[in-house]
Amino acid sequence: MSRQLRIAIIGHRFMGRAHSNGWLQAAKFFDLPAQPVLALACGRDADATRAFADNWGWEETTGDWREAVARDDIDIVDIASPTHLHRDMAVAAAAAGKHLFCEKPFALDAAQAAEMLAAAKAAGVVGYLNHNYRRCPAVRLAKQLVDSGELGRIYHWRGSYQQDWLADPETPMRWQLKQEFAGGGPHIDLGSHGIDLARYLVGEVAAVTCTQANFVKERPLPGGGGGEVTVDDASIMSLEFESGALGSLEVTRYATGRKNRNAFEIYGSEGAVCFDLERMNELQFFSKCDPATQQGFRTVLATDPGHDYAGRWWPPGHIIGYEHPFAHAAADFIDAVCDGPPITPDFADGLACMQVLDAANRSAREGRRVEVG
């Protein structure tokens, strides 16, 4: 493998670490057409960025993301920064001809998302939006069961993404609780994952009705005093799909005891599937094809070599974890950059997802059903 693809990453904390690991693992476990090179790490805190770079093997560091995205020796810009920066970073990097690996939520709103899509299209670069859960082998199995018709006509999507890290009112303020940095609360943060999975597995959303809540209006600031929470704390959406299916999505950071429960259920005329990220190697599958006396949900462990991605790792039954779908995305992204199959979700998916979330915000504000688009 002689070709190299040199990466600049912006952001060195949670997603910075997950992405670094993804690039490294992809190179070790997949047959890639090019070698990803961890070239440049960018962050606001120079010492922390240097420590991050040393730990993961990034060659250089900088505090200036505009310099990072403009450098001639960079092929890929990996955006792992807070959401309010995604638009400016993606547009500047696309203009410099860089391929884009971008964290979710894609942007603050659909207007920004449209700008990002237009910039990537105009530059002819690969634009990937990291909804990592599409790349769990069990989710891929659900997709195959839907697409092959084994579930029949899809009637229902029931999604929920529940966390509890805000259930304590003393949890301090952070950027995720400010509208100008995050674009919203769990509605956009967790809801973007849920809507992406719903669109991936069931199809486009035609209309939405949404209710949101804010439970704690002020939180302690790290330096003392209190700061106003300006985002939603929970959001419940009712989804009307173009196919006629009816769905729901419930997202919250106040589901006491639920740490990171990203779950969905799909019910069709011939069968059903259920997934829960906290048991991410498993898919619950019900089929009406089974003899009537033996029907019931069965648990499929999606670790067989026949399950997407699973054969790249360990023997059957040797389960994978949260970090693995990041490696799957990195590998597929390198393939796409090297003229392999296009990678999804792409920036067009990012816009479509933001349009649903924007419509839902409007629904919550105006207290009415809103059509998407």
Choices 79-87, 115-123, 251-259, 305-313 (CB under 6 A): range interacting with ligand NAD? 79-87
Interacting stretch for ligand NAD, rule CB under 6 A, among 77-85, 118-126, 134-142, 223-231? 77-85
Region binding ligand NAD by CB under 6 A among candidate stretches 12-20, 120-128, 143-151, 292-300? 12-20
Q: Which of 23, 56, 58, 65 binds ligand NAD (CB under 6 A)?
A: 65
Q: Is 80 in the site for ligand NAD (CB under 6 A)?
A: yes
Judge contact between 71 and 9, C-beta under 8 A: no
Is residue 103 part of the contact set for ligand NAD (CB under 6 A)?
yes
Task: Using alpha carbons, list the distances in angstroms from residue 314 to 17, 31, 321.
Answer: 23, 16, 12
C-alpha to C-alpha distance for 356 and 344, rounded to whole angstroms: 18
Q: Which stretch binds ligand NAD (CB under 6 A): 10-18, 225-233, 265-273, 340-348?
A: 10-18
Touching ligand NAD, residues 189-248 (CB under 6 A): 189
User: Looking at beta carbons only, is 48 or 167 nearer to ligand NAD?
Assistant: 48
Q: Does 83 bind ligand NAD (CB under 6 A)?
A: yes
Closest chain position to ligand NAD (CB): 13
Name every residue whose Cβ is closer than 8 Å to that of residue 33 and which is 6 or more positions away in sequence: 1, 3, 334, 335, 338, 340
Considering only residues 5, 16, 173, 196, which one is a binding residue for ligand NAD as defined by CB under 6 A?
16
Which 157-196 residues touch ligand NAD, going by CB under 6 A? 189
Task: Report the distance separating Cα 358 and Cα 325, nearest Å.
Answer: 27
Task: Give the count of residues interacting with ligand NAD (CB under 6 A).
Answer: 23
The dihedral built from the CA positions of residue 15, 20, 25 and 30, taken in this order, carries a sign that is positive
CB of 64 to ligand NAD, least distance (A): 8
Tell how strand 234-241 and strand 205-213 pair up.
antiparallel
Answer for the pair 55, 16: CB distance below 8 angstroms, yes or no. Answer: no
User: Which tokens in the block code for residue 118?
Assistant: 């237009």
Return the amino acid letter for 201: L
Using CB under 6 A, which of 3, 14, 165, 242 touches ligand NAD? Answer: 14
Q: Distance between CA atoms of 259 and 255, rounded to whole angstroms?
A: 8
Stretch of 26-34, 78-86, 92-100, 147-155 lying at the interface with ligand NAD (CB under 6 A)? 78-86
Q: Which is nearer to ligand NAD, 11 or 185 (CB)?
A: 11
Site of tokens 């688009």: 373
Contact pick of 23, 27, 37, 43 for ligand NAD (by CB under 6 A): 43
For residue 81, the minimal CB distance to ligand NAD (Å) is 4
Question: Taking the complex as a whole, how short is the minimal distance between the CB of residue 198 and ligand NAD, in angstroms?
Answer: 16
Binding to ligand NAD (CB under 6 A) within 113-142 occurs at 130, 132
Residue 346 binds to ligand NAD (criterion: CB under 6 A): no
At its nearest, how many Å lie between ligand NAD and the CB of residue 372?
Answer: 22
Distance (Å, whole) CA 54 – CA 114:
36
Cis peptide before 33 (omega within 30 of 0): no
β-pairing, 218-220 vs 226-228, is antiparallel
> Which helix (H) or strand (E) is 265 found in, with range?
strand 261-268
Burial of 305 (0-12, 13-18, 19+ CB in 10 A): exposed
Listed in sequence order, the residues at least 6 apart from 182 whose beta carbon sits closer than 8 Å to its beta carbon are 82, 83, 84, 105, 175, 176, 188, 189, 231
CB of 262 to ligand NAD, least distance (A): 9
What minimum distance in Å lies between the beta carbon of 174 and ligand NAD? 7
φ/ψ of 58, rounded to 5, equals -70, 135
Q: Which of 12, 99, 219, 324 binds ligand NAD (CB under 6 A)?
A: 12
Which residues of the chain form contacts with ligand NAD (CB under 6 A)? 10-16, 42-45, 65, 80-83, 85, 103-105, 130, 132, 189
